[in-house]
Amino acid sequence: MIILKNDNEIGMMKISGKVTGSILYELRTVIKPGISTADINRYVEERICSEGMIPSFKGYNGYPAGACVSVNYEIVHGIPDEGRILQEGDIVSVDIGATYKGWVSDAARTYPVGTVSEKAGHIIEVCRDSFFGCLRYCTEGCRLSDIGNAVQRKAESEGYSVVRDFVGHGIGRDMHEDPQVKNYGAPGKGPRLLKGMVLAIEPMINEGGHETEVLANNWTAVTIDRKLSAHYENTVVITEGAPEVITLDERDERGA
């Protein structure tokens, strides 16, 4: 069942989303060669708690940290580790959520670590652009699958594949609500978008094939061919007009 949110509930989510977006913006200067993925997680958890909010991911279905930190061929759900040190040329995806008075926001970015290769920079750019390109379909009357179709068309036109095994989702009081928001598929399918829907839209694209596997820790999803993967996510409110991206920091019109 898709749960529509009223203006008061969306207002709570906007407060949470502002903090989530701000932290992701700040990480652009935090992330550098020589820090560990645990350092990133500490920064995220401390910042969320400093705002009087709760790190949404910590303890969620047993997940041990407040941030998912995924490096290079890791797609999502990388567990922060003191021993995982970022190297010049890596790319790192950071997925976080904050909960304010029971209302959750969720967003992710992929960052270059120092100076990266042209191909690494390009997949980050295309993943980000695939999100912004799909926003034109995040309006009342469009179908849910129009969003994923737009992501897929952009990614594949640039030579990338789209992850099938992990998708976006509705969000509100729960981290994962109906509906699933796929990043692929034919247009014109699924429910029509309505004012009050709130969606976590999160393109995940791979340099190689779309196939994935989950590591022995039962969390971290990686590309089977061990080629690069990028992730970009925002929490989006469907309105009577243009969609509201509530996890996008105001200091950067197109996000980190």
In-domain check, residue 101 = yes
pTM across the whole model: 0.97
- Examine the pLDDT at 90 and tell me if it is beyond 70: yes
- Examine the pLDDT at 95 and tell me if it is beyond 70: yes
Token pair of 227 as six digits: 């080629």
28: left (phi over 0), alpha (psi -120 to 50) or beta: alpha
In-domain check, residue 250 = no
- Give pLDDT, residue 253: 60
With 0-12 CB in 10 A as exposed, 13-18 as middle and 19+ as buried, what is 14? middle
In-domain check, residue 255 = no
- Examine the pLDDT at 5 and tell me if it is beyond 60: yes
- Give pLDDT, residue 256: 45
- Give pLDDT, residue 252: 79
In-domain check, residue 40 = yes
In-domain check, residue 56 = yes
In-domain check, residue 91 = yes
Q: What is the mean predicted confidence (pLDDT) over 168-195?
A: 98
**Domains: count for the chain:** 1
109 lies in which domain range?
7-245
**Which CATH number characterizes residue 112's domain?**
3.90.230.10
